[in-house]
Amino acid sequence: MDFTTFLWTTFAAFVTLATFSFLYKDNPFYKFAEHLVVGVAAGYFVIILWHNGLVPNLFRRLADGDWYLLWLNSTMWWYLIPAILGALMWTRFSKRWSWVSRWPMGLYIGISTGVAIPLEMSNRVSKQLYATMIVNPQNPGIDWANFWGHGGFDLLDVASGFSQVLIFIGAVAALIYFFFSKAHTGIFGKAATFGIWILMIGFGASFGFTVMARISLFINRLQFIDQEWIQHAMNPENMVNGSHWPYQLVFWAMILVVVGYMVFELVQHFSSKGKAAPAE
């Protein structure tokens, strides 16, 4: 690893440790990392949307027009309309003219909601209902031949008829639980109770899955600090002008900052404890 990359990696390790320091308490290093990422992420999306959004969708389409004619002579001049409407959004900056920004907002909301209705009905409602009722399109209906499992009794077989029935009944029961226009009593109430069981198992499984994903990320950050930073700092093959000490210097300077802050916090902690003791 060359020295410039190592310096950047050291900074990445610094912001990683600074972010982890929030586990102890809110502190200046965490605040630095937090404020930095807000600015950098905002700038990043400005650039991405400019280069991947505005340039290909607007500027290139108007490119054959002349700026001194306000691109009105472009062959795709009608793309000036969304640009003007977009610019009208900026009237929000003015108290007097902010109502004008409702026009592009109305257009935006109208198109978005109009697109959403058939797509949501298709993707989230119809296709989910279809998949709940017809699990296997090649062999629609319940797999009675393998109801208790493929090749013998096996309740853990996810493709068995039993699992298919359970998915269907579970989904219907969970929907019944969400239906509040009828009192949850009698058979309806029992179905709702079964629905909440299914929901709780689902929430538990999703929770466990999410925790494992976060822990994987945590392990990844520790691997980064170990493999990308510490090991490169300690590797004697990394050199600047035939010398390894610049790597060591940067590494130990970082360690000094971290340990120095920990000592500072400990001193603060114990001194404030002494002050907080009740004087009798």
Partner 1 sequence: MKRQVPLVLVLLFGLFMIFQYFVPHESSEWVYEFLLDWIYIIGIFALALGIWSLYVVSVDKVKTRKHDWGYSYVTLAGLFGMILFGFTARHGDEWGWYLIFVACVLLTVIMSVQAMAARINKGLPLGLAGLFLLGAVLIAVFDDTWSFYFYTQEGLQSTMFRAFFDYIMMPILATIFSLLAFFIASAAYRAFRARNLLASLLLIAALIVMMRFFPYFGENVGEFIARVSSWLMNVPNLAAQRAIIIGVGLGIVATALKVILGIERGYMGKG
Q: Considering just the CA atoms, what is the radius of gyration of the chain in Å?
A: 31
CB under 8 Å to 34, separation ≥6 — which residues?
19
> Given the complex with partner 1, which of 125 and 263 has the nearer CB atom?
125
> Given the complex with partner 1, which of 65 and 170 has the nearer CB atom?
170
Q: Locate all alpha helices (DSSP H) within 21-156, ordered by sequence.
A: 28-49, 80-88, 102-120, 127-133
> Given the complex with partner 1, which of 8 and 252 has the nearer CB atom?
8
- 91: exposed, middle or buried (C-beta count within 10 Å: 0-12, 13-18, 19+)? middle
Task: Give the residue carrying structure tokens 């013998």.
Answer: 152
144 vs 140: CA distance, rounded Å: 11
> Given the complex with partner 1, which of 113 and 231 has the nearer CB atom?
113
144 vs 135: CA distance, rounded Å: 13
CB of 56 to partner 1, least distance (A): 10
> Given the complex with partner 1, which of 75 and 263 has the nearer CB atom?
75
154 vs 169: CA distance, rounded Å: 19
CB of 261 to partner 1, least distance (A): 17
CB of 279 to partner 1, least distance (A): 30
Nearest Cα to 85, choosing from 66, 103, 111?
Answer: 103
CB of 165 to partner 1, least distance (A): 10
209 vs 260: CA distance, rounded Å: 38
> Given the complex with partner 1, which of 59 and 245 has the nearer CB atom?
59
Nearest Cα to 25, choosing from 256, 264, 223, 211?
Answer: 264
- 6: exposed, middle or buried (C-beta count within 10 Å: 0-12, 13-18, 19+)? buried
Q: Using an 8 Å Cβ cutoff, are 268 and 25 in contact?
A: no
CB of 14 to partner 1, least distance (A): 9
CB of 243 to partner 1, least distance (A): 23
> Given the complex with partner 1, which of 63 and 263 has the nearer CB atom?
63
CB of 135 to partner 1, least distance (A): 10
